[in-house]
Amino acid sequence: MKLKQEIKNQIRSAVIARSEIAAKKDKINLSLLDEVLPKNDRLRVLGVDRTLERDTAVVLADLAPERNWAHPCRIYLHDAATGKLYDQIDASFPPIQIKRGSSPVEHFHTPVKLRDSVRSGRSIASGTAPPVNALANHPGQRYAILFSGDSDNRHLNDLEFLYRTLIDIYNFAPANIQAVNHDGTINYDGAPNPIGNWPGDNTAYRIVVNEPGTRAGFQNAITAIAAQIQPEDLLLIHTNNHGAGPGDGVADFCLCAQDAANDWAAYFVNDFISDLGGLPAFEVLMVMMEQCRSGGFINPIINNSPAIWTHVVTAVAAGDYSLGGANFDPFAEDWIAALAGQYPNGGALTQAVDTNNDGRLSSAEIYVYANAVHDVGDTPQSSEHPAGVDEFIFFGLPNHDLFLRDNLQDHGREPLIGGGICASPDIIVFNQELLDPDSILLSSAAQDSDILGENVEAGQDNFIYLRVQNRGSQVTAGTATIFWSQPSVLPTPASWNLIGQVPIPDVPPGEMIVAGPLKWNKADIPGKGHYCFVGLTDSGNDPAPDHTAIQTVNQFYAFIRESNNATWKNFNVEDVFKNSVTNMAFHIQGWPRKHMAADLMVNLTELPADFDVRLRILRRLSEGATKEHMALDEQTTMYQKLRVESGNEACLRGMALNPSDDTQATIEVTVPEGAVEGAYRISVSQVVDGKEMGRITRMLAVGEHPFMANRHSLEVHIPGCLWASKISAKHRTAYKTVERAIKHGYNGCYYCLKEYNTD
C-alpha cells in the first residue's frame, strides 16, 4: 500500500527538521520507502531483526553516503496513519527494502553525490604510459578469484575491470579465473534489464560469472582452484562489495554475501580463513580487499596463508569504511589501474608505477601507486610475509630471463623462496666430453636430479655443462660466466677464479636446454680436491649482476638471493663404505675490513644417531661461541674438536670473525658397521644476521662400492680381498674404477688386482 501524499510530506518535513539532521544536512542523504510496511512485518538489517508494532513508514538517514556499507545510518519508523515518529534504530546497513530496490524509494534529500571518475575526467589527466614489458609470464600457472556478494553497480564494474586486466594485459587463462558475484550472474542490486554496457569503455560486459556471491560460491571457487593449483603457482583473490566489523551489529569482521532470502549474510573472517584452508600449499597469494573494515582481514590471512609468500592489500584499516563511487570504488579503481597501466576509460596514470624502471610491476609498486593517489577518506593498508616479499611478487616479467637453478625447488623466482643455496643442479662437471649431453641431462628424471656428473679430476681436462631455463616471454640467447673457488661457507667474490664463458643458444620460453661444454683445462686445475662453482647468466635486457660492485655483506646476500642470474654449486657425492671414515674440509671466511659475528650451522638431520661426527675448528672461533647439539671432545693450543650430535641441526652461534679470517675446518664422519645402505646429505652453512651466506653440501653414498683403497698403504683392493678386510676404518676410501684409484697414486693389490700391481 502506498503512503498518502500528505503523510509523505509531513514525514519529509519532520525528518529534515530534526536537530541531528539539520545540523549536518549537507552531509546526509535521506530516503523514504514509498509504501507502507504492515504491522507484524519484519524490518531486517544485518544485526537487527525488528517486528513492526504498527503499519509503518520508513525513512533512512545515510550518515556517510560516500561510503560503502557498512557505515553509520539511522532508520526512522513513523506511524503510517499519523506520520508521527514512534521509534528510531541506529544501524550500519539500510533496510533490505531500500537497499535492494525491491520497493519504490524516494530519495528526497541527496546533497552528497558519489564520485564518478569516468565522467569527471580525473583519470584522463596527463600521466605515465602503461609499462611496455608488463607481459604475462610466470614460472607456474596464475589463478584468480574475484568475489562480490550483495553487489551494487560499482562492485560489478570493479570486477569487470580486473577481469579484463588479467586477461588482456597479463594473459591469464579465462578458465583460471573464478568470478563469484551477486546471484551467480552479471547482475547487481537495482540493475536494469538488460544490464547495458560496462561504463569503462561502453562495451558489453565480458566477465564470466561462475558462482553466486555467497560463502558456498566462494567455497566452490576454492574447490575448483584447489584441484589445479600446484606448488609453484600464484593466486590472486580480490574481494569487493560490503563489509562490517565489531560495532556494526556483528561479532567479528565479515564480508557481506548475497542471500537467497533477500537478507544480508555475514561471511565472517574465521570462515573465510577456514575456506582458504581448502587450498594445498602453493607459492604466492596476493589478496586485495575493497570492502569496509577490510583491514580486519589482514592479520588472519597473513597468519593462516597456505602460500609461501603472501601480500595483503586493503582499501581501509580495520576501523574504517571504504569509499564508494558512482561507477567504480575509488581505491579498487586506482589499484587495478596501476596493474593495467591505465584507467577504465583508457586514461593515463597520474604518476609512475614502475618506479625502479625494471620493466615489470611488483605488488609493492602497485600498492604504492594506489596509496599515493587514493582519495581522502580511504586508509589503505598493506602487509606481507615474509617481510619484503611484496617487492618480488610480479604479475608479469621482462621479455628475457635466463637462469640456472639454485636447487631442485627453484624455478627462477626472485628472490629465492625455498631450499638451500650452493646446491645448483644445473652446473654439471664430467671428466670426459659427452657425446649426447641432451639425452643424459634433459630427461625428466635427469632434470629432477642434483647428483649428476662427476667430481673434478685433477691432472686432466674437465668439462662443465649448464642446464639453462628461460622464464621470459621471448626466445632468448645469452652467455654464462663460470668461476671456481675453494669450498667455503662464505665464498666472497675475492676468492673466485675465472674458468671462462659459455655461449647460451636460443632458449624458447618455458624450456630448458644444455649449454656447453666449457673446458676447464688441466693446467688451470690446482690439484685434487673439491671445488665451489659460481655461474652468472646474462641475456637481453636481463644482465648478470656485477659481482665486482659487492662491498658489504648485505650486498653479497642480495646478490645470491635476489637475482636468479647468479647461482652456486658447492655439492659433491662421496662414495663411502660401512665402517669407514670420511672427511669434509671447508673454509670459514670473514668479510674484508669488517669484524662480524657469524653462526656455523651443521645440518645432520638425515644422519642416523649412530653416525659419529666430529668438527675440527680453530679454537679462537669455537671457544667463545654458544654450542647447540655439539660438545667439546678434545683440544690443542690452536684447535678444538667437537662431537656433533647426528640427527640434529647443530650450531656454533656467535663466532667472532676477523676481517682477515680464511681458516679451514673439517667435518669427520664415521660410518658405523651397521649403517643402512643409502644416500645421506649433510651440509654446513654460515649465517650472518640471520641470513644464510653460503653452504657446502655432501651426499654420503653408503654401500658396497667396486674398489676399496687404503689411504695408509696406498693400495687398492676388491672389497672381498683378505687384505681389504684388514684396512682400518679411518683409512678406507671408495672408488668406482680402479683406473681412477691408480691415477690418484694407488697401486693395485698384489693378490686381488695383480694386473695393476707395479711392485
Domains of the chain by start residue, with CATH: 5-113 (no CATH), 120-392 (3.40.50.1460), 402-569 (no CATH), 573-702 (2.60.40), 707-756 (no CATH)
pLDDT at 653 over 70: yes
Candidate from 174-178, 429-433, 561-565, 568-572 with smallest mean pLDDT: 561-565
Greater confidence, 612 or 473? Answer: 612
**Vertex 679, ends 678 and 684: CA angle to 5°?**
145
With contact defined as beta carbons under 8 Å apart, do 756 and 748 qualify?
A: yes
Q: Is 618 helix (H, G, I), strand (E, B) or coil?
A: strand
DSSP state of 333: H
pLDDT at 252: 95
- pLDDT band at 121, cuts 50/70/90? very low
Residue 411's identity, in one-letter code, is: H
DSSP state of 493: G
Per-residue pLDDT, averaged over 315-338, amounts to 96
Strands 29-33 and 596-603: unpaired
With contact defined as beta carbons under 8 Å apart, do 634 and 649 qualify?
A: no
pLDDT at 405: 92
Residue pLDDT, tens place only, 283-307 = 899 999 999 999 999 999 999 999 9
Per-residue pLDDT, averaged over 258-269, amounts to 81
With contact defined as beta carbons under 8 Å apart, do 210 and 148 qualify?
A: no
- In terms of Cβ atoms closer than 10 Å to its own Cβ (0-12, 13-18, 19+), residue 727 is buried
pTM tops 0.95, yes or no:
no
Give the list of residues 6+ apart from residue 462 with CB closer than 8 angstroms, or none.
429, 430, 431, 456, 519, 520, 522, 525
Spatial separation of the C-alpha atoms in residues 502 and 541, rounded to whole Å? 18
Separation in Å, CA 569 to CA 84, 113, 488, 657:
84, 63, 11, 24
- Which helix or strand (DSSP H or E) is residue 10 part of? helix 5-17
- pLDDT band at 129, cuts 50/70/90? low
Cell triple for residue 600? 656455523
CA-only gyration radius of the chain, Å:
34
pLDDT at 120: 46
With contact defined as beta carbons under 8 Å apart, do 422 and 570 qualify?
A: yes
pLDDT at 337: 94
- pLDDT band at 115, cuts 50/70/90? confident
- Which helix or strand (DSSP H or E) is residue 304 part of? helix 298-304
Residue pLDDT, tens place only, 26-43 = 999 999 999 999 999 988
Task: Give the number of other Cβ atoms within 10 Å of residue 704's Cβ.
Answer: 11
Positive or negative, the CA dihedral 438, 442, 445, 447 is positive
Per-residue pLDDT, averaged over 346-371, amounts to 88
Cell triple for residue 281? 600449499
- pLDDT band at 722, cuts 50/70/90? very high
Closest to 238 measured CA to CA, from 162, 138, 166: 162
Greater confidence, 342 or 287? Answer: 287
pLDDT at 139 over 70: no
- pLDDT band at 134, cuts 50/70/90? very low
Residue pLDDT, tens place only, 142-167 = 899 999 998 999 999 999 999 999 99
- In terms of Cβ atoms closer than 10 Å to its own Cβ (0-12, 13-18, 19+), residue 5 is exposed
Kindly provide the residue ranges of all beta strands, DSSP E only, lying in 137-176, ordered along the sequence. 142-148
What does the mean pLDDT of the chain come to? 91
Spatial separation of the C-alpha atoms in residues 246 and 254, rounded to whole Å? 9
Residue pLDDT, tens place only, 198-247 = 999 999 999 999 999 999 999 999 999 999 999 888 999 999 999 999 98
The b/e string for 580-602 (b: 16+ C-beta within 10 A; e otherwise) is bbbebebbbbbbeeeebebbbbb
φ and ψ of 743, to 5 deg: -65, -30
Closest to 601 measured CA to CA, from 662, 690, 487, 668: 690
Closest to 152 measured CA to CA, from 114, 206, 178, 120: 114
φ and ψ of 323, to 5 deg: -75, 145
- In terms of Cβ atoms closer than 10 Å to its own Cβ (0-12, 13-18, 19+), residue 1 is exposed
Closest to 78 measured CA to CA, from 60, 94, 64, 101: 60
With contact defined as beta carbons under 8 Å apart, do 601 and 627 qualify?
A: no
Q: Is the peptide bond before 386 cis (omega within 30 degrees of 0)?
A: yes
